[in-house]
């Protein structure tokens, strides 16, 4: 893919136009716990609209409006269409700036390597564009490449952090690391790709999305999941991940400042350990929304993230409902950045 444009993949902390949520409904995997997950989505939506606009993709606008009660609907845009599930981070568009103007890149979403149905979710971004939801933003079909937003972290300066386990998966693109890196650099105008070869969470369906393990907080800071319990199955792998993070350098050749997030307490559902993680936070305009899990560690995680984001509000949201379907707060959201004047 050749381009004469200057292409930038904005960092999540860049100023945003709006956040996307794709709402649960009775024909999703949430059917057996719809009331519980709706409450969580309402809490997320109410926090987002305190700070910025919100796009809600749903199958029934009236139903969602009723759930939102007295929330300020003037900050919300609704778009009705069929959906398979709710993981907007992975089926949502990935916005780049081409010469300062936002362009929504529409990559193929294949249900995390064909694990789950994605026939409706893979159409959401192009339908939103056709409906004019993105306003003056451009739209680019990138259907030759499978890519999920949760699998990449950008510093907005030409560096992307990702995991080999996910991007080198046979059921996504089945390409070599060299070929994947070349494509990422072409699509996003990158200087470097930082590959994590270690780190995972039990119960994770995404093949180790980076947004469950390590997150860029500014151009020189990474918050990462640290396990202190040598009896925990994650101990060795997360220890190796930290060693990798220590060796990484910013695009201007400095080592990153590392901020440790606690390994979330074990949570089980139907006898399966769930991938609870504090790394799955969402950066929005003026705040950071942090998933919580009814644990004393919630407060520790929020205090650690305040160090990474001293100028933003740190807001905890109970995400026990979300992890019952193996995801968390960042997984159900997608940000759309503003362009440059």
Q: How far is CA 242 from CA 97, 104, 197, 218, in A?
A: 31, 33, 11, 18
Give the mean model confidence (pLDDT) for residues 175-199.
Answer: 97
Task: Note whether residue 220 is domain-resident.
Answer: yes
Task: Note whether residue 2 is domain-resident.
Answer: no
Asked if 188 contacts 145 with a C-beta cutoff of 8 angstroms, the reply is no
Task: Note whether residue 1 is domain-resident.
Answer: no
Asked if 45 contacts 68 with a C-beta cutoff of 8 angstroms, the reply is yes
Is pLDDT above 70 for 169? yes
Give the mean model confidence (pLDDT) for residues 61-71.
Answer: 97
Task: Note whether residue 46 is domain-resident.
Answer: yes
54 phi and psi angles, rounded to 5 deg: -135, 135
The mean of the pLDDT values for the chain is 96
Task: Note whether residue 264 is domain-resident.
Answer: yes
Percent of the chain residues past pLDDT 90, beyond the cut: 93
Task: Note whether residue 47 is domain-resident.
Answer: yes
Domain that holds residue 154: 7-337
Give the mean model confidence (pLDDT) for residues 223-247.
Answer: 97
Asked if 329 contacts 303 with a C-beta cutoff of 8 angstroms, the reply is no
Give the mean model confidence (pLDDT) for residues 52-62.
Answer: 98
| pLDDT score of 113 | 85
Is pLDDT above 60 for 151? yes
| pLDDT score of 271 | 87
pTM: 0.97
Task: Note whether residue 208 is domain-resident.
Answer: yes
Task: Note whether residue 35 is domain-resident.
Answer: yes
Neighbours of 32 (CB within 10 A): 9
pLDDT tens per residue across span 239-277? 999 999 999 999 889 999 999 999 999 999 888 999 999
pLDDT tens per residue across span 86-115? 999 999 999 999 999 999 999 999 998 889
Domains identified in the chain, total number: 1
| pLDDT score of 1 | 47
pLDDT tens per residue across span 193-213? 999 999 999 999 999 999 999
Give CA angle at 326 (184, 275), nearest 5°: 85
What CATH number is given to the structural domain containing 285?
Answer: 3.75.10.10
Asked if 86 contacts 38 with a C-beta cutoff of 8 angstroms, the reply is no
Is pLDDT above 50 for 298? yes
């Amino acid at each position: 893919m050749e381009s004469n444009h200057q292409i930038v993949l904005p960092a999540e902390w860049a100023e945003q136009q709006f956040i996307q949520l794709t709402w649960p409904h009775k024909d999703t995997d949430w059917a057996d716990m719809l009331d519980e997950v709706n409450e969580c989505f309402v809490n997320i939506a109410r926090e987002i609209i305190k700070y910025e606009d919100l796009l809600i993709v749903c199958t029934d606008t009236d139903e969602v409006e009723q759930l939102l009660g007295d929330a300020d609907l003037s900050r919300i845009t609704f778009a009705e269409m069929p959906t398979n599930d709710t993981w907007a981070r992975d089926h949502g568009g990935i916005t780049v700036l081409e010469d300062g103007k936002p362009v929504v890149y529409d990559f193929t979403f294949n249900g995390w390597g064909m694990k789950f149905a994605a026939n409706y979710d893979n159409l959401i971004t192009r339908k939103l564009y056709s409906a004019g939801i993105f306003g003056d933003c451009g739209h680019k079909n990138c259907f030759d490449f499978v890519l999920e937003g949760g699998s990449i972290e950008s510093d907005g300066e030409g560096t992307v952090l990702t995991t080999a386990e996910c991007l080198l998966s046979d059921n996504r693109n089945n390409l070599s690391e060299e070929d994947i890196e070349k494509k990422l650099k072409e699509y996003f105008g990158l200087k470097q790709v930082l590959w994590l070869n270690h780190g995972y969470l039990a119960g994770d369906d995404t093949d180790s999305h980076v947004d469950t393990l390590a997150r860029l907080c500014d151009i020189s800071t990474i918050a990462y999941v640290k396990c202190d319990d040598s009896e925990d199955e994650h101990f060795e792998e997360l220890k190796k991940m930290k060693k990798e993070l220590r060796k990484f350098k910013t695009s201007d050749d400095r080592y990153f400042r590392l901020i440790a997030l606690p390994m979330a307490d074990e949570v089980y559902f139907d006898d399966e350990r769930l991938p609870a993680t504090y790394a799955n936070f969402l950066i929005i305009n003026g705040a950071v929304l942090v998933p919580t899990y009814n644990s004393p560690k919630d407060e520790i995680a929020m205090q650690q993230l305040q160090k990474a984001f001293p100028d933003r509000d740190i807001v905890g949201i109970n995400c026990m409902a979300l992890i019952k379907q193996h995801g968390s707060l960042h997984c159900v959201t997608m940000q759309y950045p503003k362009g440059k004047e």
